[in-house]
Structure 1
């Protein structure tokens, strides 16, 4: 039976019904929890702006529940998608020519974006949506910076490190704004979090203009992330699909970590737990199927390409939080794991349950919409999003994830941007999970 959050059993509520119930607990690693009762109350009293922009009701990062004198825990570096252990393990295993790391490394070397001869083409204004679009230049350069940074961190080649820094420095010296129609918020989210991840890999290099790069994230990307999560482009709160919220939360979180801004990081965590938009856990995963270890993804009635994209974005958010000592993977009794199992099972060709999904489209009260059946559009789509989930749930936590594991095996070894098509969808994930996450 499908159930609306947070009840484990019972009759589904309408998917657009919004619950503000929120539980907070210490993470498995016992480090700290972001956002206690005051932050939860802020959802009701202060709205989304309180969560995203701070204020008296905003989450206070670093406070352990029930401990008034707790000291904030410093953010860890490297600590976005990859921690020091991930990078060291990949370096050692590749040097020993062991699979599957070697196969993942080969995919990186074979990608044209990882070549040290890459030359950036920074733009003052990036446009996504409408006329004058040029955002393809940005995402190609970001993936070149990220892939060159990986080659430097794992292979030790100075030329790749210098190229990664040159790309990032060129953009931080040039970019002033992201523009376009509503899709500009997708650009601010996806490319903001990817930019930060590339920068994290080279943050300690003396030739990297870290302070200037942080300023670019804070002045160009962060205000747009905050604006979207606060106002949702003035649309009805159910109008935008989960991936719009998720990419902006990912950028908010990644920026907070890179910039050692615990408050911004905390707002991202709090939004995932109690945000009003479709990217928070209860809204991105509206129905749980008791006894089946499955949960329905919000975009499942739309198409499988965007559904898989959303799973990848939530996985990135959970991994970045995990590397800072916050367990979002296990939030609400492993709700995300159940949703990933659902998406993997359906895209492997098996049947899954589906509960009609209703929402309102447009401005104000909007127009009532419904998806009565699951979509088979782009069913079987392949994106590099599964290794990170397999290696957390099945390897780190030793949980049973048959469909996530089968999907990870199907796409192994994962590539990255440029390996999954020439359009923007092929660059929505940074990839190379086999190389970085295999245990």
Structure 2
């Protein structure tokens, strides 16, 4: 039995389960009835995943929708912030009127694709509101949009960008349809025929032929969006062959969307990995993180864990992209590729990126809480740079909130609402050279001690840096609002007073320590030649001018 067969057998067949499951209500106040064994939990093996429950099971499962609805009802943060962004978005209104086209063109003369783009997001957002509140008006609007398009669309054309349309709008359409698949007015058969008859053939053509270009000509995003469309269409249409096709390409495909091509270089000692488009610009690089997260999330709900592939290779890439876009430096390995038509291979043009691109640095898209929700929320793994990025851009919105051009609609968004994990558990900082001792505060003095009592004195929440989003600050668990800061180079615990001086004193740049695998060191924000260290069991900031100082400044985050 192949590895893919083993993974598929770990999960109940969607068809088998739907054939024998008893339907239960999703929400008590009138949302549609679906079979709803919740997918989720913590994986116990390297590539274990939850059992597939039932439809919906693309980006969202019935259990996850029910959880989100409860959080919205309770007005719990950070999720209610995501809900408020959804409600405020112009495409989320039940008054939206669809404008379907027979022939959509993206790229070249006559481009008219924004009409499709806007309608897809209106359908998804109204469908999400229906799922979370049971609002009949929003459900009807979502169905009206999707029925209008499936009854009108005949073709997608244009220049090479038509394959971006087949991929991006294919996966988005399928996810909107998946949310309303059991709505009594939804023409599911006709919508399925549209996905299989128009979108799927274009996606397959691109992955097989790459528009007549050499295999490395198109960036990772081109493959990823078409892979995501095939996967989402396979889920919606109950076509396990399409699910297997997409997953197989993710693992071993020849194009840049397969994981080893999309993430060509791994820096295991740093917990980072270089994204294929990092030397191009940061807008497309962040887009790539979002597309791969979307793909992995949909696969997860089919019982296939691609998040864990290659020792969490994707997590390392997300950490790389988050870290750089937070303003910190990352390593870079020269990346060489070939471009041009396949008819000229092997003599088509060769190009090389020699450094990470600063173009668009700090670019924001609604992608980060999807990544964080899996790695920290489900798996309990540390993702410090992804967490800092997610917290700095929350609550994440959706289509139209990030610009009016196509880039603002590449992701369905609202990831804080649907994926943000609960607050991370408190951490402890363990000393490298005194492993039985931990950072603590005692009578407001920063110390290093063993057998800490009370235990809360040695527990902290790592917050986004008060003075810099690319850094960290340490907030006391038992004294909320109190942070570790330096004063005359000594570390104290003091209440945040919202001054620039306090923010600088309480902010540290997390770096990889030069001693011991898995240890970090923390550089002072406003005294960048000094680092957090212990000396005679007291904490202070000092230059690292000796081997002993480097050892004293190394801590493991537990």
TM-score by length of 2: 0.66
Match of 1:288 in 2: 266
Contact 1:188 1:224 in 2 (8 A): yes
Q: Which moved more, 1:364-373 or 1:397-406?
A: 364-373
Give the structure with higher Rg (CA).
2
What secondary structure does 1:360 align onto?
A: strand
Contact 2:323 2:330 in 1 (8 A): yes
Task: Measure the CA separation in 2 of the matches of 1:153 and 1:24.
Answer: 32
- Pick from 336, 353, 359 the counterpart of residue 337 of structure 2: 359
- The reply on whether 1:412 has 2:394 as its aligned counterpart is yes
CA shift at 1:76, angstroms? 3.3
Match of 2:371 in 1: 389
Match of 2:176 in 1: 198
Task: Measure the CA separation in 1 of the matches of 2:5 and 2:353.
Answer: 34
Q: Which has the higher strand share?
A: 2
Task: Measure the CA separation in 2 of the matches of 1:84 and 1:27.
Answer: 22
CA shift at 1:115, angstroms? 0.4
What secondary structure does 2:270 align onto?
A: coil
Task: Measure the CA separation in 2 of the matches of 1:412 and 1:142.
Answer: 23
Contact 1:165 1:202 in 2 (8 A): yes
- Aligned positions of 1:51-66 closer than 5 A: none
Task: Measure the CA separation in 1 of the matches of 2:204 and 2:193.
Answer: 16
What secondary structure does 1:419 align onto?
A: coil
Contact 1:188 1:248 in 2 (8 A): yes
CA shift at 1:75, angstroms? 7.9
- In angstroms, what is the RMSD of aligned CA positions? 1.7
Task: Measure the CA separation in 2 of the matches of 1:414 and 1:423.
Answer: 18
CA shift at 1:28, angstroms? 12
Task: Measure the CA separation in 1 of the matches of 2:244 and 2:403.
Answer: 35
- Aligned positions of 1:142-221 closer than 5 A: 142-221=120-199
Contact 2:11 2:52 in 1 (8 A): no
CA shift at 1:290, angstroms? 2.5
What secondary structure does 1:194 align onto?
A: helix
TM-score by length of 1: 0.84
The total of aligned residue pairs comes to 379
Match of 1:135 in 2: 113
- The reply on whether 1:259 has 2:241 as its aligned counterpart is no
Return the structure number with greater relative CO, CA threshold 8 A, min gap 6: 1
Task: Measure the CA separation in 1 of the matches of 2:359 and 2:210.
Answer: 26
- The reply on whether 1:223 has 2:205 as its aligned counterpart is no
What secondary structure does 1:265 align onto?
A: helix
- Aligned positions of 1:23-102 closer than 5 A: 30-31=10-11, 76-102=54-80
Match of 2:420 in 1: 438
CA shift at 1:93, angstroms? 1.2
What secondary structure does 2:156 align onto?
A: strand
- The reply on whether 1:369 has 2:351 as its aligned counterpart is yes
CA shift at 1:30, angstroms? 4.0
What secondary structure does 1:291 align onto?
A: helix
Structure 1 pair 337–26 and aligned structure 2 pair: CA distance change class (3 A):
farther
Task: Measure the CA separation in 2 of the matches of 1:438 and 1:354.
Answer: 30
CA shift at 1:138, angstroms? 0.5
Q: Any unmatched runs of 5+ in structure 1?
A: 1-21, 34-72
Match of 2:277 in 1: 299
Task: Measure the CA separation in 2 of the matches of 1:175 and 1:231.
Answer: 24
